[in-house]
Amino acid sequence: MDRREFLQASLAGVLAAQLTDKTLFAQAQQAANPLKVAIDSRHLQWLRTAEEVADAVNEIGYAGVSATVQPFPGHIDPAKAGTDLAPFVTTLRKRGLQVVAMSCPIVDADSPNAETILAAAHSAGLTHYAWDSFHYEEGKPIQAQLDALKPRVEKLAKLNEKYRMKAMYRASAGSANVGAAVWDFLSVLRNFSPEFVSFQFDSGQMALAGGGGTWALNLKAAGPYIGGVSLSDGVLETTFVVKGGGPFTGPPAPAGGRGRGGRGASGGAGGFGGVPGEDFAAGGGAGGRGGGRGGGAAAAGGVRGAVSAPPWRDRPVPLGTGMANLSLMGGILKEMNFSGPVEVQALYPNGGAEAGADHLSLPRELVTGAMKRDLLSVRAAWASSGLL
């Protein structure tokens, strides 16, 4: 081995040792500081003071709170964040709760009160915030729209750098939502440091958007751009109804033009019919068999490829009862050395708490009991990964 080869081998060994040391350090740090699961205070807006929120969170068993800086009934008015956020956070921390993140109405650096909110968050010791999402405009090229977002993201990243804050982009399922596919918005984020702009990966929304396990691939692909995790769950359910062994039918369709009857069955009122080899179309009234044209109350604009109502809908459910595979997610996050923050989004019907109501339509015990069940589901799913 000549001198050059010796130096190269020595350098490679040093780098490998450093990498191993960093990995071991990250793993040891995570073992010493396991993830703390917070609850979004949006679900506790029926409690108005920080003391009441803290008492409820401690009663339920969560280790932290993600504060809502939103217009009423949010706990902190965005316009008053400069004076009201720090006292709210301080009270929660005095009760033993971790507060590192908030949700707020910031889409970009030009959003109302954006700098005031971030300055207040930095002063209060927060480090992360949920970043409101972008939406595609119908009929315009996707890549051109993504390119147009880059200057807006750059400006926000610079503002985040100024206040040492990390924005966590909230991506939701749906064809109009930027980031639903993850890869699309990831192509924008990769132009900037993940220290300031990132994803808040939502277990329920991403399972709905990336069925068949695609969400797991997206999670791995996003890698260092996973700034935080939001835990929710949901199921897809059909809006079709089977009546007496007849055709699948949807909601009653309004009067309008002709639709196509269902293949091999008579089309019921507002039924979703189809023709072999063609897209589904809105079915009509007493339609003939074998794909004959429907008559009577056919759906308005019942043309090929159009339906009067979507044949499927997503429904929020308690954690561990839907499509989100929390166990698999926990394993992936462990491999990524993910260190938080983590929050639970209790979006299923729960006496109004799911929608951020300022009063409950169910007994408090039922509402808080459902939230505790979510926490127990997370602990059970992530026990084997060692995240908690």
DSSP string, 150-212: HHHHHHHHHHHHHTT-EEEEE--SSTTBTTTTSHHHHHHHTTS-TTTEEEEEEHHHHHHHSTT
* Dihedral sign of CA atoms 257, 261, 262, 268 in order: positive
Q: What is the model's pLDDT at position 120?
A: 98
Distances (CA, A) of 221 to 184, 214, 245, 327: 12, 11, 45, 18
The winner for highest mean pLDDT among 49-58, 207-216, 379-388 is 49-58
Q: What is the model's pLDDT at position 166?
A: 98
Same-domain status, 375 and 273: no
Q: What is the model's pLDDT at position 384?
A: 87
The reply to whether 4 falls in a domain is: no
Q: What is the model's pLDDT at position 238?
A: 87
- Of residues 133 and 288, more confidence is placed in 133
Write down which residue in 309, 324, 353 finishes a domain: 309
* DSSP alpha helix (H) spans, the chain: 3-32, 50-60, 81-94, 114-123, 142-162, 183-189, 203-209, 214-222, 326-335, 364-382
Q: What is the model's pLDDT at position 26?
A: 38
Same-domain status, 54 and 107: yes
Same-domain status, 42 and 143: yes
The reply to whether 364 falls in a domain is: yes
Mean pLDDT of the chain: 82
CATH number, domain at 143? 3.20.20.150
Same-domain status, 53 and 196: yes
The reply to whether 16 falls in a domain is: no
**Residue 16 reports pLDDT greater than 90:** no
**Residue 284 reports pLDDT greater than 50:** no
d(CA 37, CA 375): 8
Q: What is the model's pLDDT at position 243?
A: 58
**Residue 359 reports pLDDT greater than 80:** yes
Structural domain span for residue 49: 33-234+315-382
Same-domain status, 161 and 62: yes
Phi-psi sector, 331: left (phi>0), alpha (psi -120 to 50), beta: alpha
Q: What is the model's pLDDT at position 245?
A: 52
Write down which residue in 249, 277, 309 finishes a domain: 309
State the average pLDDT over residues 143-162.
98
Largest CA distance in the chain: 90
107 pLDDT tier (thresholds 50, 70, 90): very high
**Residue 64 reports pLDDT greater than 80:** yes
239 pLDDT tier (thresholds 50, 70, 90): confident
**Residue 85 reports pLDDT greater than 80:** yes
Cβ-Cβ contacts under 8 Å for 188 (sequence gap 6 or more): 146, 149, 150, 153
d(CA 253, CA 269): 7
The reply to whether 21 falls in a domain is: no
State the average pLDDT over residues 82-92.
98
State the average pLDDT over residues 250-277.
37
Q: What is the model's pLDDT at position 21?
A: 47
Same-domain status, 268 and 362: no
The reply to whether 344 falls in a domain is: yes
d(CA 217, CA 186): 13
State the average pLDDT over residues 149-159.
98
DSSP letters of 292-325?
Answer: PBP-SSPPTT--TT--SS-SEEEEE--TTSSS--
241 pLDDT tier (thresholds 50, 70, 90): low
**Residue 281 reports pLDDT greater than 60:** no
**Residue 115 reports pLDDT greater than 50:** yes
Number of domains in the chain: 2
Contact 232, 318 (CB under 8 A): no
Reply yes or no: is the peptide bond before residue 341 cis, omega within 30 of 0. Answer: yes
Cβ count within 10 A of residue 83: 11
The reply to whether 348 falls in a domain is: yes
Same-domain status, 280 and 339: no
Q: What is the model's pLDDT at position 222?
A: 97
The reply to whether 19 falls in a domain is: no
Q: What is the model's pLDDT at position 292?
A: 36
**Residue 382 reports pLDDT greater than 60:** yes
Same-domain status, 75 and 209: yes
Cβ count within 10 A of residue 365: 8
The reply to whether 301 falls in a domain is: yes
Same-domain status, 198 and 336: yes
Contact 99, 67 (CB under 8 A): yes
Same-domain status, 224 and 362: yes
Write down which residue in 254, 288, 309 finishes a domain: 309
Same-domain status, 267 and 146: no
**Residue 178 reports pLDDT greater than 60:** yes
Same-domain status, 175 and 45: yes
Percent of the chain with pLDDT over 90: 69
